[in-house]
Amino acid sequence: MQCLQHPVEKLRSVLFSARKDLIQAYEQYSEEEKRFLEEGLLPGSALFTAIIIHSESDWIPAHPQPPQDFQSFYSNPYRKTPDPGHKTIYIQTIGPFGDGTGITEQYVKWLKEYCEAFYYSLAVKFLPAVTIAATSCTFRVNSNTNNLQLHAGDLLAFLKKKKPKDAFCIVGITMIDLYPKDSWNFVFGQASLSEGMGVFSFARYDDDFYRRNYAGQLKKNVKLKPGDYSVFQDCYTPPINSTLLLRSCKTVTHEIGHIFGIQHCQWLQCVMQGSNHLEESDRRPLDLCPICLRKLQSAIGFKIADRYKALLQWIADGSSDKPTEAFQDFRKWLYECLSILGDKTV
Ligand SMILES: [Zn+2]
Ligand SMILES: [Zn+2]
């Protein structure tokens, strides 16, 4: 294990930047917001802690690259920023979700509402759900795990055609596993940042996925015919529970973060940290570190406390059977953030 502890002076320069206009822009934050962001960089902060590298297979040692400070994010001419004509995030569900008891619609609605709170002040809308057949995508059976997989590039081509004119981005989600090309085993998701779109699978977020008797394995004698999508009609999808909801919320917000131009975080523990495997993804927190928060805030323009309150409201919303057990630590964390921000309304 290795603790990636950056000196406080370094983190401060990464947050403020060296550009005069960006330092001036920082001064626009309220005194409470500045105190909150800066206290978060201190080694003793209870809210934001150093990244711990557990093994050489973690993202940072496996993918060495320069970290992205606020200034390099802000100065990137290719990053995408919502504007009045493009400020809607569209979610496209692809194929079966859940067990048909109605929880599916609930689940994607919870996910949508979570994105609305996370990307506070942007609109998040659904496109009408589509079947796998409607996408005309190529599919296969994975020879190692014996489960169905969809070709991620074909799904991106489909999403490109479906992307509405006023979209900031379009995100496809599916419960079927994905592969990027024949020689690859699988992929959690694939995105085109320049096109503002991505597609992600939650199949491997099922705790049983890697068990030998995983229910999503195809029977040995099933023969697939290209273009015959009937195999997807009764195919297995993971049960919807609190852990699956948490993992899905984390993935979707992480991936949309990339569409904003936020690269993998190497500063502090953060939802924008890269992850090579599910265990590393589970280790990441649900929210942004102060540096990535400034990146998002500069792109959207919200009051920091308002966004935390919206996330808190999402967890507290008792109008449905939303399984929020896995979000309780996050709930406490949000309260602590709001208390440092001097917010007394919650
Ligand atoms: Zn990523
Ligand atoms: Zn970060």
Do 175 and 237 contact (CB within 8 A), yes or no?
yes
Band (pLDDT 50/70/90 cuts) for residue 102 is low
Q: Calculate how far, in angstroms, residue 263's C-alpha sits from the geometric centre of ligand 2.
A: 9
pLDDT of residue 100: 58
Residue 99 clears pLDDT 80, i.e. is over it: no
Interval between CA 247 and ligand 1 midpoint (Å): 14
**For the residues 312-330, what does the mean pLDDT come to?**
91
Element (H, E) at 150: strand 148-151
325 CA distance to ligand 2 middle (Å): 25
Q: Which of 148, 104, 57 is nearest to 244 (CA)?
A: 104
Joined tokens for residue 82: 């919502």
| 3-state percent breakdown (helix, strand, coil) of the chain, nearest 5 | 40, 15, 45
Outline where 27-127 has alpha helix (H). Answer: 31-39, 59-62, 70-75, 103-118
Ligand sitting nearest the alpha carbon of 271:
2
High-pLDDT (> 90) share of the chain, %: 77
- Where do the DSSP E strands lie in 208-300? none
Does residue 207 carry a pLDDT above 90? Answer: no
Cα-only R_g, the chain: 20
Distance CA(186)–CA(192), nearest Å, equals 17
Smallest-distance ligand from the CA of 254? 1
The pair of three-digit structure tokens given for residue 130, joined into one six-digit string: 């589509």
Centre of ligand 2 to C-alpha 232, Å, is 38
pLDDT average, residue stretch 213-222: 80
DSSP state of 327: G
Backbone angles phi, psi at 127, to 5 degrees: -95, 155
pLDDT of residue 103: 66
The alpha carbon of 231 and the centre of ligand 2 are apart by a number of angstroms equal to: 41
- Rounded to two decimals, the pTM is 0.94
Whether residue 106 is predicted with pLDDT greater than 70 in this model: the reply is yes
pLDDT digits (tens, 9 = 90+) for 22-62: 999 999 999 999 999 999 999 999 999 999 999 998 999 99
Mean pLDDT lowest for which of 74-83, 261-270, 293-302, 337-346?
337-346
- Which one, of 322, 220, 273, lies nearest residue 50 by Cα? 273
Looking at per-residue pLDDT, the higher value among 177 and 212 belongs to 177
Query: What separation, in Å, do the N-terminal and C-terminal C-alpha atoms of the chain show?
Result: 38
Calculate how far, in angstroms, residue 245's C-alpha sits from the geometric centre of ligand 1: 18
User: What is the pLDDT of the chain when averaged over all its residues?
Assistant: 93
- Determine the pLDDT at residue 143: 86
Q: Using 50, 70 and 90 to split pLDDT, how confident is the model at 101?
A: low
Q: Which of 33, 113, 116, 255 is catalytic?
A: 255
**Tens digit of pLDDT for each residue in 77-92?**
999 999 999 999 999 9
Ligand 2 centroid to Cα of residue 88, in Å, is: 23
| Residue 51 alpha carbon to ligand 2 centre in Å | 10
Q: What is the mean pLDDT of residues 282-305?
A: 97
Give dist(CA 79, CA 262) in Å, integer.
Answer: 8
pLDDT at 320: 76
What integer pLDDT is reported at residue 194 of this predicted model?
87
> Which ligand is closest to the CA of 6, given by its number?
2
Ligand (nearest to CA of 48): 2
Q: Among residues 338, 291, 232, 205, which one has the least CA distance to residue 8?
A: 291
| pLDDT value for 343 | 85
Among the bound ligands, name the one nearest to the CA of residue 293: 2
Domains of the chain: 2-79+262-301 (no CATH), 88-250 (3.40.390)
Quick one: how far is CA 50 from the chain centroid?
Answer: 20
Active site (annotated) includes residue 195: no
Q: Go through the chain and tell me how many residues it has.
A: 346
C-beta atoms surrounding 82 within 10 Å: 20
Measured in angstroms, how far is the CA atom of residue 323 from the centroid of ligand 1?
A: 25
Q: Phi then psi for 309, rounded to 5 degrees? A: -65, -40
Phi, psi for residue 121 in degrees, rounded to 5: 90, -5
What ligand is nearest to the CA atom of residue 200? Answer: 1
Alpha carbon distance 209, 20 (integer Å): 51
Checking if the pLDDT of 116 tops 80, the result is yes
CA dihedral 188, 193, 195, 201 (to 10 degrees): 10
Which range, of 105-109, 264-268, 295-299, averages the lowest pLDDT?
A: 105-109
pLDDT digits (tens, 9 = 90+) for 138-179: 999 998 888 999 999 999 999 999 999 999 999 999 999 999
The rounded Å distance from CA 295 to ligand 2 centre is 9
Q: What per-residue confidence (pLDDT) applies to 84? A: 94
Task: Using the predicted structure, report yes or no on whether residue 325 has a pLDDT greater than 80.
Answer: yes
- Segment 222-272, tens digit of pLDDT: 778 888 999 888 788 888 899 999 999 999 999 999 999 999 999 999 999
